[in-house]
Structure 1
């Protein structure tokens, strides 16, 4: 119930009742409501911006942010372990694998290099945890690059391993005639007396004296490039391309056991000793070429001789006697 208000009338010397106008009453109500609304809005603004008041949405967001921070921390710890493993692999790669296969080590600055050029992380700036997010992204990118480099290095090592195995199987490494079938090592690599002219000339192979029909074996894996008698002086002869610049020649054969284009492996029977071509007696003339240069075969018999047999062969090959071709 609203209060009744009076005023003192000096003319009548009495109190008269005040009858408020309807418009002023509504005006007061309006200003009251307006003031209440403004006050409420001000209070709400203060409450929303005050640190001691947290809305449910803010609470959920803060909890989500803390969860993300925890996940980033866990991710960084995992990356530390991965970086440690990568460092160990890189160390072994440089000091064992690449060293064994004679490949140049990959420099650390190349393995650990970041990404230059434009700012790759501009979109991660402007947040409260920008540094944490940027550092994590940078570490991930660097780790990814290290993985790519290491993967390529291992691919290279695998290729080198295959090539190394092929090389070891291809290099001429055994004696072309078994010791049990040899009469003697007739002539070695170097200056020798020509059996026909008696003039000293350079002998570019080794002559193994053996009975006619003695088996001759391929000294390394390769492909037969020639098996014919169309080369002056060699008579029936075989040439095997071993790859990696190596080629072997077997001359004065009585007959062949291979044909041109045939693949052979070390120890395969390829022909038989004879005395065809420019030859004085049954024997095998054996040569090794590397990149077109003729090498001393004495350096390539490590595969099937004992140290004593090899020492004797070296001694005999150094005698300056008469060649058989």
Structure 2
């Protein structure tokens, strides 16, 4: 198609002449075209940059780094799951074997698994695309670190107890307090029994062994005599031995003493003689074992001088609900 030619009427020559466009105007049109093209191209470029269909090399590099980070966190969480399983096994053995063996209270689960209260420790990790993943992983690391610290301290305690094992085993009350070869001297066991004076049913916190007055009484474990007097109501002449590790034993209704307060005694030492002093119906020894300030059944502490068969016999006798002698 031919380019249109424009004319104008020249009044002087009375003729039509061609209109010749000025060079500046041509250049203006060209400049405007180039500017609009540049603006349009820039807008298209911006739009492409903000769409998922166009990635710069830097974007691709960052995307790979993010995926790599997610993979590493996933691997880290799997490793922490394995650490959790191993740690739980160690904690179970610690509570149910090591601490039980050394007669030490287990560490409560709520203490082992306690989190971190108070100030938000992870505030600086908030506000990012993967904040939840990073925060949860950080929390798990902190909790495991705390559990490991508690378990490490516990094993230090167990190690210290192991070094004192011989002292511990010597201190635990482990024999009967009077000679009882035929197992016939056990008159009343631990538990609710009929009171010999009021006939009311009440808790009997020890065991009664019938024996003639003057029968020797033995310390059932190593320790220090805490008291040897008759100032406690009902027990008459009595002895209390502190064995350590939370153990105490009491020997009541004695006819006389063979030890004094502050004296160190060993298992098997004669500390006094059977009698019927205090609130007693007949000559006998009232024997109690206390652990951490609470009375416990003495029958569980005779493994030092009776067999399994003998334990079965004396256990049946002790469980009979009869009348106590004090």
* TM-score normalised by L of structure 1: 0.50
- The structure number with the bigger radius of gyration is 1
* TM-score normalised by L of structure 2: 0.50
